[in-house]
Structure 1
Amino acid sequence: MEKKLFSGKNILIGILYIIGFIVLLLVLLVLYLTLTEYKPDQVTSMVIDYADINEVPTKTSFKAVSFNLGYGALGEEEDFFMDGGKKVYPDSVEVVEKNLAGILEVLKDIDADFHLLQEVDKNSKRSFSIDQQAYLEDTILGLPSFYAENYKVKFVPIPFPPMGKVDSGLVTSAKYNILEVDRISLFVPFKWPVRIANLKRSLLVTRMPVENTGQDLVLINLHLEAYDDSGGREKQTQELMALMEDEVAKGNYVIAGGDFNQSFFPLEDLPYESAEDQWEPGLLDLNLFSEEFHILRDESMTPTCRSNHIAHTAYEGRKYYYYIDGFIVSDNINVEKIEVYDQGFKFSDHNPVVLAFSLK
């Protein structure tokens, strides 16, 4: 009697083989990501030697800029799956190149003395493996600039198509000699196995000697947790505050700038709107910061960030915006002006924030 090739039993066995193969692939993927997980030290330090030290003068006007570049891939035509959109990365490398060229022109127009940049990719699939730090060094930052990893994963398996390899972080540069650089690891709110393909955020701390004072100007570049409701972002803010207080106790001048992923204004006070299921930031807790510090806000409420649930070109006059980027400074910093530079979200999903200041 001839056997039936497609009997119920054979079909069931075939299905079990397929399920087993998929499970095996998932196990191997988790094993690979576990073995290659980025596990930075709590503090990674670098000391730089210069033949001549260019110290920062007091009572001189400077400009610092904080700018989340959206890894050159979140210009006006993009949405993003984590914000409720559909896309993982742009359609072509030309889109990233266009955004980087626009970002460059914005930074040239601002002409800052100190750059604190976030979401700078070095070798990531989502931005077509362009080394954005090198691009910026060659065009505007000069050498050296300093990089701290925030997101370093061999293969991010979500969504579909998967994000793939990511190497992204913070970049700081200055027109004065940075003598010490520390990458300080922040609290990681994620547990295994979610942790192995997730961000490992940090503070990029740079120090420059201040002329005739024996003190340092300390810049703290940051990008705090976004998609977390477990209190991780608040814990990271507390860690930032502790570091700032320690530096002020030493008599140093302290400027922290970056993407806080927390609103600088109560949400109900802002002239923006929200869509259904749109990501919503918490409020930056002003009570965490003592009277020795000043949280700086552009009272015009020009937004610093947009929602990526749809492309900006599809907003049709709607205001799906946030104010989550900015600066906190110590009392020995004389603040001359704080202003959001409105680039219309053409080249990034963030606007730069510009601080004009001097050292008392």
Structure 2
Amino acid sequence: MKKILKFILKVVVLIVLLAGGFIGYLTLTEYKPAPIETVEIEQNPTQQVATNQNLSFMTFNTGYAGLGEDEDFVMDGGQKGRPDSQDVVEAYLAGIEGLISAHEADFYLLQEVDLKARRSFNLNQVTHYQDLLPNYHSTFAYNFNAVFVPFPVSLTDYIGPVKSGIQTLGRFKVESSERHQFPGEFSWPLRVANLKRAMMVNTYTITGSTKQLVVVNLHMSAYDGDGSLRAQEMAYLKAFMEAQTALGNYVIIGGDFNQTFPTAVDVYPTKPGLYQAYPIESSFLPAGYQWGIDITEPTCRLLNQPYEPTSDLNQYYIIDGFIVSNNITVNNVSVIQDNFKYSDHNPVFMTVTLN
């Protein structure tokens, strides 16, 4: 009996040591970006934005080509941690590229684009979109950079290494591109293998104007239980907008806010027991800005089950869209309803005119 107890004790000690060593390794290799970092610009064109120009934008959370119609996800109440095969990811990726090609825009703001990640079978999606749009510039900033994500805990179904982020592609010459790290973080040790939420700020010269066009691509926090991360991120974004107003710049902010827009709060009420997207306060926008959103269609679905359009268990959200400065006229905003075939998000398309 004593020998059995000693053996069990040794096993427990070994497990504790291994777990401690693993957490220590993740801590030492934790991604720690600076508050603001310069982003490399790929395949930069020479064409410049003009005054009084009409421009079009698409924002699309691509779900790393791994969250299409046949998927659920354990964090949303489903069962899976990643798609079943590389073929599945390649099919979703081809569908996403088809949507981009079918809706020609001057700017594409993409979120959850994997550079290299086990969850998407290490397909470089950044270069896929660059190759799809060879006449567009491309900028990419990390939103997730972890050497290993042990969640969900399973011998075969785990996330593993992730290099992923936000990618902006556009027809015009970028003068500068920066990654802005949002303030706030999860507590240790949860933060060491978690997302580092950020926004990417691209600036463009406007011919005939002393002002600049500023295009922001963002992907804000989800699964933030007490809302403290969201509050810090939104305060940072508001201060940024106020600074741009003082400069008189033309500003377009697009992406996945992971929060319900003020006018969409009652469109898709949260069903009992399902994930709730926090509402954005109606007073959030500073003077000089307007929403560019469409509340007639959902922009996101909960991944509690594979998508079944007629199911009563579906939970929808309106969390993707734009913020636009008042020196820009919003001509049209519409959700591209694709029934979540290739991602858990639908793209949002907007046309504007620079005044």
The normalised TM-score by structure 2 is 0.94
Q: SS where residue 133 of structure 2 aligns? A: helix
| Equivalent in the alignment of 1:169 | 165
1:198 aligns with 2:194: yes
1:51 is displaced (CA, Å) by 10
| Equivalent in the alignment of 2:17 | 24
| Equivalent in the alignment of 2:259 | 262
User: Does structure 2 conserve the Cα–Cα contact (< 8 Å) formed by 1:273 and 1:319?
Assistant: no
1:140 is displaced (CA, Å) by 2.7
User: Does structure 1 conserve the Cα–Cα contact (< 8 Å) formed by 2:43 and 2:136?
Assistant: no
1:244 is displaced (CA, Å) by 1.4
Q: Report the Cα distance in structure 1 between the residues aligned to 2:328 and 2:167, rounded to whole angstroms.
A: 22
User: Does structure 2 conserve the Cα–Cα contact (< 8 Å) formed by 1:265 and 1:323?
Assistant: no
Q: SS where residue 357 of structure 1 aligns? A: strand
1:235 aligns with 2:232: yes
- Unpaired runs of 5+ residues, structure 1, are 1-7
Q: SS where residue 323 of structure 2 aligns? A: strand
| Equivalent in the alignment of 2:214 | 218
- Quickly say closer, same or farther: Cα 1:320–1:49, change in 2 above 3 A: closer
Q: Report the Cα distance in structure 1 between the residues aligned to 2:51 and 2:70, rounded to whole angstroms.
A: 43
Q: Report the Cα distance in structure 1 between the residues aligned to 2:9 and 2:263, rounded to whole angstroms.
A: 54
Q: Report the Cα distance in structure 1 between the residues aligned to 2:258 and 2:139, rounded to whole angstroms.
A: 22
Q: How many residues align?
A: 351
1:344 aligns with 2:335: no
- Quickly say closer, same or farther: Cα 1:51–1:64, change in 2 above 3 A: closer
Q: SS where residue 134 of structure 1 aligns? A: helix
- Quickly say closer, same or farther: Cα 1:74–1:141, change in 2 above 3 A: farther
Q: Report the Cα distance in structure 1 between the residues aligned to 2:311 and 2:42, rounded to whole angstroms.
A: 53
Q: Report the Cα distance in structure 2 between the residues aligned to 1:45 and 1:290, rounded to whole angstroms.
A: 27
- Quickly say closer, same or farther: Cα 1:114–1:141, change in 2 above 3 A: farther
| Equivalent in the alignment of 2:304 | 309
Aligned sequence identity (%): 39
1:96-135 deviations in whole A, cap 9, x for unaligned? 1010111011111110100111000010000000110100
Q: Report the Cα distance in structure 1 between the residues aligned to 2:270 and 2:139, rounded to whole angstroms.
A: 36
Written as runs of structure 1 = structure 2, the 5 A alignment for 1:51-62 is 53-62=46-55
Written as runs of structure 1 = structure 2, the 5 A alignment for 1:64-75 is 64-75=57-68
Q: SS where residue 313 of structure 1 aligns? A: coil
1:48 is displaced (CA, Å) by 6.0
- Quickly say closer, same or farther: Cα 1:308–1:159, change in 2 above 3 A: same
CA RMSD of aligned residues (A): 1.9
Q: Report the Cα distance in structure 2 between the residues aligned to 1:208 and 1:134, rounded to whole angstroms.
A: 23
- Quickly say closer, same or farther: Cα 1:354–1:30, change in 2 above 3 A: same
Written as runs of structure 1 = structure 2, the 5 A alignment for 1:36-115 is 36-46=29-39, 53-115=46-108
User: Does structure 2 conserve the Cα–Cα contact (< 8 Å) formed by 1:118 and 1:259?
Assistant: yes
- What is the letter of the counterpart of residue 218 of structure 2? L
Q: Report the Cα distance in structure 1 between the residues aligned to 2:310 and 2:21, rounded to whole angstroms.
A: 42
Q: Give the number of the structure whose alpha-carbon radius of gyration is greater.
A: 1
User: Does structure 2 conserve the Cα–Cα contact (< 8 Å) formed by 1:141 and 1:173?
Assistant: no
| Equivalent in the alignment of 2:184 | 188
1:133-187 deviations in whole A, cap 9, x for unaligned? 1001111364531111011000011112321001110001110001100001001
- Quickly say closer, same or farther: Cα 1:48–1:135, change in 2 above 3 A: closer
Q: Report the Cα distance in structure 2 between the residues aligned to 1:45 and 1:284, rounded to whole angstroms.
A: 29
Q: SS where residue 312 of structure 1 aligns? A: coil
Q: Report the Cα distance in structure 2 between the residues aligned to 1:97 and 1:46, rounded to whole angstroms.
A: 27
- What is the letter of the counterpart of residue 278 of structure 2? G
- Unpaired runs of 5+ residues, structure 2, are none
